[in-house]
Amino acid sequence: MRARAVLFVVLFVSFAYFYQAGGWNQNSRFDLVRAITNEGTLSIDPFRHSTGDIAFHDGHYYSDKAPGLALTAVPLIAAVRPIYRAFGGDAETYEGLALLSFLATVVTAGLFTALAGVCVFTLCLELGASYGGALFAALTFTIASPIWTLATIFIGHAFAAALLVFAFAAAMRIGADVASSSSYVASGFSRTSPSRDMRLGAIVGLSAGWATVSEFPAVVPAIILALLAAVNAWPLGRAGAVRILGPLGS
Protein backbone atom coordinates (compact mmCIF):
# COMPACT_ATOMS: atom_id res chain seq x y z
CA MET A 1 0.00 0.00 0.00
CA ARG A 2 2.86 2.38 0.76
CA ALA A 3 4.38 1.82 -2.69
CA ARG A 4 1.03 2.44 -4.34
CA ALA A 5 0.52 5.63 -2.33
CA VAL A 6 3.97 6.95 -3.21
CA LEU A 7 3.46 6.12 -6.89
CA PHE A 8 0.11 7.89 -6.92
CA VAL A 9 1.47 11.03 -5.24
CA VAL A 10 4.46 11.23 -7.58
CA LEU A 11 2.29 10.88 -10.66
CA PHE A 12 -0.48 13.20 -9.52
CA VAL A 13 1.90 15.97 -8.44
CA SER A 14 3.76 15.68 -11.75
CA PHE A 15 0.56 16.04 -13.78
CA ALA A 16 -0.72 18.91 -11.64
CA TYR A 17 2.59 20.80 -11.69
CA PHE A 18 2.94 20.74 -15.47
CA TYR A 19 -0.62 21.90 -16.18
CA GLN A 20 -0.70 23.40 -19.70
CA ALA A 21 -3.70 25.77 -19.51
CA GLY A 22 -6.02 26.50 -22.42
CA GLY A 23 -6.34 26.04 -26.16
CA TRP A 24 -9.22 25.53 -28.59
CA ASN A 25 -9.77 21.90 -27.56
CA GLN A 26 -9.48 22.58 -23.83
CA ASN A 27 -11.54 25.77 -23.98
CA SER A 28 -14.35 24.05 -25.88
CA ARG A 29 -14.71 21.48 -23.13
CA PHE A 30 -14.29 24.00 -20.32
CA ASP A 31 -16.84 26.30 -21.95
CA LEU A 32 -19.37 23.48 -21.52
CA VAL A 33 -18.44 23.26 -17.84
CA ARG A 34 -18.92 27.03 -17.52
CA ALA A 35 -22.23 26.92 -19.34
CA ILE A 36 -23.63 24.20 -17.07
CA THR A 37 -22.35 25.57 -13.78
CA ASN A 38 -22.80 29.28 -14.48
CA GLU A 39 -25.67 29.49 -16.99
CA GLY A 40 -27.54 26.24 -16.37
CA THR A 41 -27.52 25.35 -20.07
CA LEU A 42 -25.60 23.26 -22.59
CA SER A 43 -25.25 26.18 -24.98
CA ILE A 44 -21.91 27.97 -24.84
CA ASP A 45 -23.16 31.12 -26.55
CA PRO A 46 -21.56 33.57 -24.04
CA PHE A 47 -18.16 31.86 -24.31
CA ARG A 48 -18.00 30.88 -27.99
CA HIS A 49 -15.27 33.40 -28.85
CA SER A 50 -12.75 31.54 -26.66
CA THR A 51 -12.55 28.60 -29.07
CA GLY A 52 -12.99 27.59 -32.67
CA ASP A 53 -14.06 24.05 -31.74
CA ILE A 54 -17.77 24.77 -31.75
CA ALA A 55 -20.96 23.50 -33.36
CA PHE A 56 -23.89 25.69 -34.42
CA HIS A 57 -27.43 24.35 -34.19
CA ASP A 58 -30.82 26.01 -34.11
CA GLY A 59 -29.42 29.44 -33.39
CA HIS A 60 -27.06 28.39 -30.58
CA TYR A 61 -23.41 27.42 -30.23
CA TYR A 62 -22.27 24.21 -28.54
CA SER A 63 -19.01 22.46 -27.79
CA ASP A 64 -18.26 19.98 -30.58
CA LYS A 65 -16.34 17.68 -28.22
CA ALA A 66 -17.48 14.48 -26.54
CA PRO A 67 -19.07 15.61 -23.24
CA GLY A 68 -17.81 12.97 -20.79
CA LEU A 69 -14.75 14.85 -19.54
CA ALA A 70 -16.63 18.11 -19.05
CA LEU A 71 -19.51 16.39 -17.26
CA THR A 72 -17.04 14.71 -14.90
CA ALA A 73 -15.63 18.10 -13.93
CA VAL A 74 -19.03 19.74 -13.41
CA PRO A 75 -19.68 18.60 -9.80
CA LEU A 76 -16.36 19.96 -8.53
CA ILE A 77 -16.60 23.27 -10.39
CA ALA A 78 -20.20 23.70 -9.26
CA ALA A 79 -19.06 23.23 -5.65
CA VAL A 80 -16.00 25.49 -5.92
CA ARG A 81 -17.79 28.43 -7.57
CA PRO A 82 -19.81 29.53 -4.49
CA ILE A 83 -16.83 28.91 -2.20
CA TYR A 84 -14.62 31.07 -4.39
CA ARG A 85 -17.33 33.74 -4.44
CA ALA A 86 -17.66 33.61 -0.64
CA PHE A 87 -13.98 34.52 -0.34
CA GLY A 88 -14.46 37.55 -2.57
CA GLY A 89 -13.40 36.00 -5.86
CA ASP A 90 -15.10 36.25 -9.23
CA ALA A 91 -15.06 32.98 -11.15
CA GLU A 92 -15.44 34.79 -14.47
CA THR A 93 -12.29 36.89 -14.12
CA TYR A 94 -8.97 35.75 -15.58
CA GLU A 95 -7.77 34.57 -12.17
CA GLY A 96 -11.02 32.76 -11.46
CA LEU A 97 -11.10 31.01 -14.81
CA ALA A 98 -7.45 30.02 -14.46
CA LEU A 99 -8.15 28.45 -11.07
CA LEU A 100 -11.29 26.62 -12.16
CA SER A 101 -9.77 25.31 -15.38
CA PHE A 102 -6.75 24.08 -13.43
CA LEU A 103 -8.98 22.26 -10.94
CA ALA A 104 -11.08 20.80 -13.75
CA THR A 105 -7.93 19.41 -15.36
CA VAL A 106 -6.24 17.93 -12.31
CA VAL A 107 -9.38 16.18 -10.98
CA THR A 108 -10.12 14.57 -14.33
CA ALA A 109 -7.13 13.97 -16.63
CA GLY A 110 -4.53 14.24 -13.86
CA LEU A 111 -6.27 12.31 -11.10
CA PHE A 112 -7.61 9.49 -13.26
CA THR A 113 -4.29 8.99 -15.06
CA ALA A 114 -2.45 8.77 -11.73
CA LEU A 115 -4.99 6.19 -10.55
CA ALA A 116 -4.55 4.29 -13.81
CA GLY A 117 -0.80 4.16 -13.22
CA VAL A 118 -1.39 2.59 -9.82
CA CYS A 119 -3.88 0.22 -11.44
CA VAL A 120 -1.29 -0.92 -13.99
CA PHE A 121 1.24 -1.44 -11.21
CA THR A 122 -1.22 -3.53 -9.17
CA LEU A 123 -2.42 -5.58 -12.11
CA CYS A 124 1.14 -6.42 -13.16
CA LEU A 125 1.87 -7.70 -9.66
CA GLU A 126 -1.28 -9.82 -9.71
CA LEU A 127 -0.26 -11.29 -13.07
CA GLY A 128 3.08 -12.40 -11.61
CA ALA A 129 5.42 -9.56 -12.55
CA SER A 130 8.25 -8.61 -10.24
CA TYR A 131 8.05 -5.41 -8.21
CA GLY A 132 10.55 -3.74 -10.53
CA GLY A 133 8.75 -4.97 -13.62
CA ALA A 134 5.40 -3.71 -12.38
CA LEU A 135 6.87 -0.32 -11.54
CA PHE A 136 8.56 -0.13 -14.94
CA ALA A 137 5.25 -0.85 -16.70
CA ALA A 138 3.37 1.75 -14.65
CA LEU A 139 5.97 4.47 -15.20
CA THR A 140 6.33 3.66 -18.89
CA PHE A 141 2.59 4.07 -19.36
CA THR A 142 2.26 7.27 -17.35
CA ILE A 143 5.42 9.31 -17.89
CA ALA A 144 7.37 7.65 -20.72
CA SER A 145 4.56 7.91 -23.26
CA PRO A 146 2.37 10.70 -24.68
CA ILE A 147 -0.05 10.03 -21.80
CA TRP A 148 2.18 12.18 -19.57
CA THR A 149 1.56 15.33 -21.59
CA LEU A 150 -2.09 14.48 -22.24
CA ALA A 151 -2.68 14.13 -18.48
CA THR A 152 -1.80 17.80 -18.03
CA ILE A 153 -4.42 19.12 -20.46
CA PHE A 154 -8.20 19.39 -20.21
CA ILE A 155 -8.85 17.10 -23.16
CA GLY A 156 -10.28 13.61 -23.18
CA HIS A 157 -7.39 11.45 -24.37
CA ALA A 158 -5.65 10.59 -21.07
CA PHE A 159 -8.95 10.53 -19.19
CA ALA A 160 -10.47 8.02 -21.61
CA ALA A 161 -7.27 5.94 -21.62
CA ALA A 162 -7.34 5.78 -17.82
CA LEU A 163 -10.94 4.56 -17.87
CA LEU A 164 -10.01 1.88 -20.39
CA VAL A 165 -7.21 0.76 -18.06
CA PHE A 166 -9.76 0.38 -15.26
CA ALA A 167 -12.03 -1.63 -17.55
CA PHE A 168 -9.15 -3.85 -18.68
CA ALA A 169 -8.03 -4.53 -15.10
CA ALA A 170 -11.58 -5.47 -14.09
CA ALA A 171 -12.04 -7.69 -17.16
CA MET A 172 -8.77 -9.50 -16.44
CA ARG A 173 -9.86 -10.23 -12.86
CA ILE A 174 -13.09 -11.89 -13.98
CA GLY A 175 -12.70 -15.62 -13.48
CA ALA A 176 -9.14 -15.26 -12.17
CA ASP A 177 -8.05 -17.40 -9.25
CA VAL A 178 -7.63 -14.64 -6.71
CA ALA A 179 -8.60 -16.53 -3.57
CA SER A 180 -4.98 -16.56 -2.41
CA SER A 181 -4.26 -12.95 -3.38
CA SER A 182 -3.57 -10.89 -0.27
CA SER A 183 -5.06 -7.77 -1.84
CA TYR A 184 -8.35 -9.52 -2.48
CA VAL A 185 -8.39 -11.28 0.89
CA ALA A 186 -7.88 -7.92 2.59
CA SER A 187 -10.78 -6.52 0.58
CA GLY A 188 -13.07 -9.41 1.46
CA PHE A 189 -13.29 -10.65 -2.13
CA SER A 190 -13.25 -14.27 -3.22
CA ARG A 191 -13.61 -16.04 -6.51
CA THR A 192 -17.14 -17.17 -5.72
CA SER A 193 -18.40 -13.88 -4.30
CA PRO A 194 -21.55 -12.69 -6.15
CA SER A 195 -20.85 -9.14 -5.07
CA ARG A 196 -17.36 -9.33 -6.60
CA ASP A 197 -18.77 -10.64 -9.88
CA MET A 198 -21.30 -7.83 -10.08
CA ARG A 199 -18.73 -5.23 -9.11
CA LEU A 200 -16.27 -6.30 -11.78
CA GLY A 201 -18.97 -6.32 -14.44
CA ALA A 202 -20.14 -2.87 -13.40
CA ILE A 203 -16.57 -1.51 -13.48
CA VAL A 204 -16.02 -2.83 -17.01
CA GLY A 205 -19.31 -1.44 -18.27
CA LEU A 206 -19.12 1.94 -16.54
CA SER A 207 -15.45 2.58 -17.29
CA ALA A 208 -15.56 1.49 -20.93
CA GLY A 209 -18.86 3.29 -21.48
CA TRP A 210 -17.71 6.57 -19.95
CA ALA A 211 -14.46 6.37 -21.90
CA THR A 212 -16.59 6.27 -25.05
CA VAL A 213 -18.68 9.22 -23.87
CA SER A 214 -15.43 11.13 -23.28
CA GLU A 215 -13.70 10.20 -26.55
CA PHE A 216 -15.94 8.60 -29.18
CA PRO A 217 -13.16 6.51 -30.84
CA ALA A 218 -12.82 4.68 -27.51
CA VAL A 219 -15.87 2.67 -28.55
CA VAL A 220 -13.56 0.26 -30.40
CA PRO A 221 -11.43 -0.81 -27.39
CA ALA A 222 -14.56 -0.60 -25.22
CA ILE A 223 -16.23 -3.30 -27.31
CA ILE A 224 -13.08 -5.42 -27.20
CA LEU A 225 -12.94 -5.12 -23.41
CA ALA A 226 -16.61 -6.08 -23.13
CA LEU A 227 -15.89 -9.18 -25.22
CA LEU A 228 -12.88 -9.98 -23.01
CA ALA A 229 -15.09 -9.76 -19.94
CA ALA A 230 -17.65 -12.04 -21.57
CA VAL A 231 -14.99 -14.60 -22.50
CA ASN A 232 -13.60 -14.64 -18.96
CA ALA A 233 -17.11 -14.86 -17.50
CA TRP A 234 -18.15 -17.82 -19.66
CA PRO A 235 -16.33 -20.55 -17.65
CA LEU A 236 -18.05 -19.38 -14.44
CA GLY A 237 -21.33 -20.89 -15.52
CA ARG A 238 -24.64 -19.32 -16.38
CA ALA A 239 -25.28 -17.78 -12.97
CA GLY A 240 -21.82 -16.26 -12.73
CA ALA A 241 -21.94 -14.95 -16.28
CA VAL A 242 -25.32 -13.31 -15.71
CA ARG A 243 -24.05 -11.65 -12.53
CA ILE A 244 -21.16 -10.15 -14.49
CA LEU A 245 -22.71 -9.37 -17.85
CA GLY A 246 -25.90 -7.91 -16.37
CA PRO A 247 -24.19 -4.96 -14.66
CA LEU A 248 -21.76 -4.67 -17.58
CA GLY A 249 -24.56 -4.22 -20.09
CA SER A 250 -26.58 -1.88 -17.94
- State the 10-residue block means of pLDDT for the chain, 250 residues long: 92 93 89 92 90 90 94 95 90 90 95 96 92 94 94 95 95 67 42 72 91 95 91 75 71
* Residue 47 amino acid letter: F
pLDDT at residue 186, as a whole number: 42
pLDDT at residue 179, as a whole number: 39
| Cα–Cα dist 192/187, whole Å | 14
Question: Is the CB of residue 190 less than 8 Å from the CB of residue 196?
Answer: yes
| Cα–Cα dist 97/84, whole Å | 11
| Cα–Cα dist 107/164, whole Å | 17
Contacts of 130-134 with CB under 8 Å at 24 or more apart are: 131/3
CB atoms within 10 A of CB 145: 13
Q: What is the pTM of this model?
A: 0.88
Q: Residues 188-220: pLDDT tens digits?
A: 444 557 677 788 888 998 999 999 999 999 999
- What letter would DSSP give residue 45? G
